[in-house]
């Protein structure tokens, strides 16, 4: 058989992408559960995308004396990995590489079964022989390279176009099934080995470096009534859909009627996903200096507040605190949700207020309670609210955005904001109660990042920060201070209102504003970044 190098590369790409990835395609089909022609078309488009992507890489390697060894190596490794995925339903990630290298010979022999030998012989060795005996019609060096580059480019463009054409479905399936990419052979193994080579070990918290060791509370602040600040960390809430910020729909009917509520209108997030924003806002590093591993290796705002003698509690109704709450008392309300964000029986965010009053009253010295909401976590927005909050309808009662209109998706999203409005209003009512019982209180609500709802064809979030549209980075921030707290801290309400209306702010301000509210003295505190500072009477 005589083939051109391009045809051979394309054949092998298709073979690996389709045949050796049967486990991937079966898993994808189970997730999408295709019924309509459109859904089958989506799967077909994804298959074509994977073939094109593989072909793009293999085209570049289509060089004399290189092509055949590369193809044989890819087919043999892919077949071996495919066997394990098929047989054990496992996934391949950086921890797999770690485990493989830790495995001793006896354990490895356990895995060497006749089925593996037969599987690899049939799906790896036989195709490898075919590759080896195929005659390739090589052209001169220069035309070969030019041909390779142009085929690689065309394949890459085709893959990009296919992703673009199915973007909404593509993003919703991939985001909700982050593990899916670890089933795709051989890119999963390549990515895992590369990640292992860079980090040398699975990502775990390194030694934690102390920060703010000089932190102590101003003597004048100690001995007064305890001050408790409830810091509500929102999820996927974007500023534009809050009627407090001018949204055309009434999504904040309750907060709009509460005295002392201020909505900061020009606030931006540090990242565009939880994994970046959450550690960033507590790190005090600022968006410019922040890196996940850097923040993980040092103490954060909560540690410093504790060092100053205050209590800290983290209540989580979501998938955990991304390392931020290590070292502080933590209550996980949504264990079920941690296993699968979309199972039935999820607790809605009002559960964060259960027994909260008692927890506040128990804080003798005062301190911080962080409430980590499920908020507007997508794509299953409709699952975030109790049925009585489905005011905007028709909703999108599916995780598959393609089966809904944009209007339905926005309705479902707006219902989550309406529900958040309710939860925050209930929280403020609770804090008023507590104030009457001798504790000064304040609430700060801030979302972790925004969300795209079809603008520019984008959905959900997670775009690289530098490219992210404002929908993903313009976030709501809402404060409420009990009148006594305003007095105690000498905050001028008018000034706070002006600040909220006109001054730009960001996650970078949170660290310093919280230190300022508790009058914690440390060299890390930067009064310029404390957004309340300018409104406090100088003493």
Token reading at 17: 């992408």
Residue 409-448 contact track with Zn ion, rule CB under 5 A, x = bound: ---------------------------------------x
Instruction: Tell me the CA end-to-end span of the chain in Å, nearest whole number.
Output: 90
How many chain residues are in contact with Zn ion, going by CB under 5 A?
3
CB of 433 vs Zn ion, minimal distance in Å: 30
- Which residue number, 363 or 424, has a Cβ lying nearer to Zn ion? 424
Residues 30-89 touching Zn ion, rule: CB under 5 A, are none
Pairing of strands 505-506, 452-453: unpaired
Name the residue nearer to Zn ion (CB basis): 71 or 458.
458
Minimum CB distance to Zn ion smaller for 440 or for 451: 451
Q: Taking the complex as a whole, how short is the minimal distance between the CB of residue 477 and Zn ion, in angstroms?
A: 15
Write out the DSSP string of 250-280: ---TTGGGSTTEEEEEEEE-S-SSHHHHHHH
Least separation in angstroms between residue 451's CB and Zn ion is 9
Report the nearest approach of Zn ion to the CB of residue 374 (Å).
10
DSSP codes of every residue in 53-120: HHHHHHHHT--TTTHHHHHHHHHHHHHHHHHHHHHH----SHHHHHHHHH--HHHHHHH--HHHHHHH
- Measured from the CB atom, the residue of 421 and 448 that comes closer to Zn ion is 448
Residue span 445-484 as binding mask against Zn ion, x where in contact by CB under 5 A, dash where not: ---x------------------------------------
Q: How does DSSP classify residue 208?
A: P
Q: Which is nearer to Zn ion, 274 or 283 (CB)?
A: 274
Piece in contact with Zn ion (CB under 5 A), picked from 93-101, 271-279, 364-372, 405-413: 271-279
- DSSP strand E in 364-408: where? 366-372
Nearest approach, Cβ of residue 468 and Zn ion (Å): 13
Q: Which stretch binds Zn ion (CB under 5 A): 4-12, 96-104, 168-176, 270-278?
A: 270-278
Task: Please list the residues that pair with 66 across neighbouring strands.
Answer: none
Per-residue DSSP letter, 382? G
Q: Give the phi and the psi of residue 67 in degrees, each rounded to 5.
A: -55, -55
Q: Whole-number minimum distance, CB 344 to Zn ion, in Å? A: 22
Task: Give the nearer residue to Zn ion in terms of CB position, either 90 or 319.
Answer: 319
Among 62, 274, 408, 435, binds Zn ion (CB under 5 A): 274
Give DSSP secondary structure letters for 418-464: HHHHHHHHHHHHHHHHHHHTT-EEEEEEEES---EESGGG-EES---
- Give 235 or 316: the residue with its C-beta nearer to Zn ion: 235
Question: Per CB under 5 A, which of residues 512..531 are in contact with Zn ion?
Answer: none
What is the enclosing helix (H) or strand (E) of 229?
strand 227-234
Q: Which is nearer to Zn ion, 172 or 274 (CB)?
A: 274
Shortest Å distance, C-beta 447 to Zn ion: 8
Whose structure tokens read 């052209």?
A: 139
Run of H or E residues at 126: helix 126-133
State which residue, 231 or 363, has the beta carbon closest to Zn ion: 231
Between residues 159 and 352, which has the closer beta carbon with respect to Zn ion?
Answer: 352
Distance CA 482, CA 515 (A): 18
CB of 461 to Zn ion, least distance (A): 7
Question: Closest separation between CB of residue 279 and Zn ion, Å?
Answer: 12
Euclidean distance between CA atoms 34 and 38, whole angstroms: 8
Tokens of 370: 């962080």
At a CB cut-off of 8 Å and minimum separation 6, what does 519 contact? Answer: 217, 218, 220, 221
Residue nearest to Zn ion (CB): 274
Q: How far is the CB of 375 from Zn ion (least distance, A)?
A: 8
Please work out, in degrees rounded to the nearest 5, the angle formed at the alpha carbon of residue 274 by the alpha carbons of 449 and 393: 55
The secondary structure of residue 491, as a DSSP letter, is B
Which tokens hold the place of 317? 């109704």
Nearer CB in complex with Zn ion: 274/485:
274
Q: Minimum CB separation from Zn ion for residue 40, in Å?
A: 32
Of the listed pieces 167-175, 266-274, 313-321, 343-351, which binds Zn ion according to CB under 5 A?
266-274
Draw the binding track, 223-262, toward Zn ion (x: CB under 5 A; -: no contact): ------------x---------------------------
Query: Contact at 8 Å (CB) between 94 and 202?
Result: yes
Residues contributing to the site for Zn ion (CB under 5 A): 235, 274, 448
């Amino acid at each position: 058989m005589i083939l051109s190098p391009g045809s051979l590369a394309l054949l092998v790409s298709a073979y690996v992408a389709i045949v050796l990835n049967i486990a991937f395609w079966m898993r994808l089909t189970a997730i999408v559960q295709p019924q309509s022609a459109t859904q089958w078309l989506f799967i077909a488009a994804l298959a074509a995308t994977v073939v094109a992507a593989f072909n793009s890489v293999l085209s570049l390697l289509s060089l004399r004396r290189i092509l055949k060894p590369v193809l044989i190596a890819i087919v043999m490794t892919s077949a071996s990995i495919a066997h394990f995925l098929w047989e054990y339903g496992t996934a391949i990630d950086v921890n797999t590489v770690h485990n493989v290298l830790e495995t001793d010979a006896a354990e490895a022999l356990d895995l060497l079964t006749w089925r593996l030998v037969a599987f690899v012989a049939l799906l790896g060795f036989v195709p490898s022989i075919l590759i080896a005996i195929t005659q390739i019609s090589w052209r001169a060096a220069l035309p070969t390279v030019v041909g390779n580059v142009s085929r690689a480019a065309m394949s890459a463009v085709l893959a990009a176009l296919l992703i673009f054409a199915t973007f909404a479905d593509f993003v919703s399936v991939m985001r909700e099934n982050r593990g899916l990419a670890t089933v795709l052979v051989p890119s999963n193994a390549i990515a895992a080995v590369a990640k292992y080579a860079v980090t040398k070990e699975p990502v775990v918290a390194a030694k934690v470096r102390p920060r703010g060791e000089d932190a102590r509370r101003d003597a004048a602040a100690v001995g007064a009534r305890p001050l408790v600040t409830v810091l509500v960390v929102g999820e996927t809430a974007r500023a534009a859909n809050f009627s407090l910020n001018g949204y055309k729909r009434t999504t904040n009917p309750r907060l709009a009627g509460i005295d002392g509520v201020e909505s900061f209108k020009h606030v931006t997030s540090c990242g565009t996903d939880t994994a970046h924003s959450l550690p960033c806002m507590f790190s005090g590093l600022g968006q410019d200096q922040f890196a996940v591993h850097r923040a993980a290796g040092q103490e954060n705002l909560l540690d410093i507040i504790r060092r100053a003698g205050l209590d800290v509690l983290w209540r989580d109704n979501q998938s955990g605190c991304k390392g931020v709450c290590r070292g502080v008392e933590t209550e996980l309300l949504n264990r079920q949700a941690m296993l699968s964000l979309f199972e039935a029986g999820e607790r809605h965010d009002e559960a964060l207020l259960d027994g909260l009053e008692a927890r506040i009253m128990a804080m003798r010295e005062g301190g911080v309670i962080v409430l980590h909401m499920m908020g507007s976590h997508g794509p299953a927005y409709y699952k975030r609210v109790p049925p009585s909050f489905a005011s905007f309808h028709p909703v999108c009662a599916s995780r598959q955005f393609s089966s809904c209109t944009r209007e339905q998706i926005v309705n479902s999203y707006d219902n989550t904001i309406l529900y958040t409005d309710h939860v925050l209003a209930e929280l403020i009512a609770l804090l008023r109660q507590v104030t009457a019982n001798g504790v000064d209180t304040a609430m700060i609500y801030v979302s972790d990042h925004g969300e795209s709802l079809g603008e520019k064809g984008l959905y959900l979030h997670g775009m690289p920060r530098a490219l992210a549209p404002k929908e993903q980075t313009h976030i709501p921030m809402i404060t409420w201070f009990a009148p006594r707290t305003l007095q105690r801290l000498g905050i001028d309400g008018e000034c706070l209102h002006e600040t909220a209306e006109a001054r730009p702010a960001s996650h970078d301000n949170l660290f310093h504003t919280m230190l300022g509210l508790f009058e914690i003295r440390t060299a890390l505190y930067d009064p310029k970044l404390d957004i309340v500072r300018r409104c406090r009477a100088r003493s």
